[in-house]
Amino acid sequence: MDSTFTLLDLGWQACFQQQLSLDDLESNRIARICSFQTTPNAKQYQLASEHGFFTLTQQENMPNMLVGDWVVIDTQQNFVRCLESRSRFDNIAANVDTVFLLCALGQDFNLALIKRYLTLTRNALADPVVVLTKADICNNAEEQRAQVEKLDPLLIVETVNTKDVHSLTCLSPFLKKSKTVALLGSVGSGKSAFITTLMQASNDNQATRSVGQADLLKILPSGAILLDTPELRDLQLAEFDSSTINQFADLLALEKRCRFSDCRHDNEPGCAIRAAIQADQLDEQRVNDFLLLRNEDDEDDIVKSKPQAKFYRSAQSDIRARKHSAAE
């Protein structure tokens, strides 16, 4: 693990420099959080700086900090303050400049999925770039790309082959030195191949360098920093709050009337949801948004992640509460 980094290597930018005081410039040091772990007694952050790595234990006077945050410390490695972040995925990551939103072209193309990722990224105040993958095996790539471009005339949309390093040169403007990037995409969108190809892309034979033991920050050959945490990889498409639960509670109740318990609400006989759509009792787009939460993987097996399981449990509790309220 390389312990020699400059601040620019770690993603330092002018917006952070402007937050420093004269005392900071003369007496303090700057470090970036590259990982953290929670112990029974406290949270411990691993930080990287021009002076190497060190560990900072959470204290009462410290805010809750995330991977990617910049921290001011004194010469004894004591916490001074956390700099204001330019973007923030709550409880996940901070200071991401650009988020590549990966979605496969062809049969797996899903416009509703892209819309949801756009919302998550913009809410975090990061810049989205839609990357449509598997362009090499899709016959209607331009047609599907046009659908995405209609979402926002200013939205940057690129079609790529994630296994071809030359295909990714269109993303070079977002992969400059000191810029931090992240990825969002569903299973089958080509994230793993995309990351592997980014690590191979180099005009100067530079190697990818990991920052810290947890390997959550990687300095790519281009000089950009890839922030890749498990929480970002597992980020779901809904925030599972009460408004989302209320939005789909009726559909969760309706699907119990389907003939088959594993009904996918497509063309199965006896599907209560499809019947409601045909009877103009349900909006099909709303149903599509609901089905998006079912997280179908590439093998067409329905997989509910932990957050999704929480969503279903909470939704069922909401339905029971409504019935109890009505009975009273």
pLDDT in tens, the chain (328 residues): 456 799 999 999 999 999 999 999 999 999 999 999 887 778 899 999 999 999 999 988 899 999 999 999 999 999 999 999 999 998 899 999 999 999 999 888 888 889 889 989 999 999 999 999 998 888 889 999 999 999 999 999 999 999 888 999 999 999 999 999 999 988 788 888 999 888 876 545 567 788 877 789 999 989 999 999 888 877 754 443 444 555 677 888 888 888 887 788 888 889 999 999 999 888 887 887 777 655 433 333 333 334 444 444 444 454 445 444 444 4
User: What is the rounded CA–CA span in Å between residue 1 and residue 213?
Assistant: 7
In terms of domains, do 46 and 176 share one? no
User: What is the rounded CA–CA span in Å between residue 240 and residue 293?
Assistant: 10
In terms of domains, do 296 and 264 share one? yes
Q: Show which of 67, 86, 105 is a domain's final residue.
A: 86
DSSP labels, 211-242: ESTT--EEE-TTS-EEE--HHHHT--SS---H
Contacts of 9 (CB under 8 A, 6+ apart): 177, 178, 219, 223
In terms of domains, do 159 and 217 share one? yes
Q: Show which of 233, 251, 279 is a domain's final residue.
A: 233
In terms of domains, do 28 and 135 share one? no
Residue type, 253: A
Q: Tell me the CATH number at 319.
A: 1.10.40
Sign for the CA dihedral angle at 212, 216, 220, 223 comes to: negative
Q: Which domain holds residue 199?
A: 93-233
In terms of domains, do 214 and 123 share one? yes
In terms of domains, do 114 and 220 share one? yes
In what helix (H) or strand (E) does residue 52 lie, and over which residues does it extend?
strand 52-57
Hey, what are 252's tokens? 């969760």
Collapsing DSSP to helix, strand or coil, 7 comes out as coil
Domain count, the chain: 3
Distances (CA, A) of 303 to 116, 239, 300: 19, 18, 9
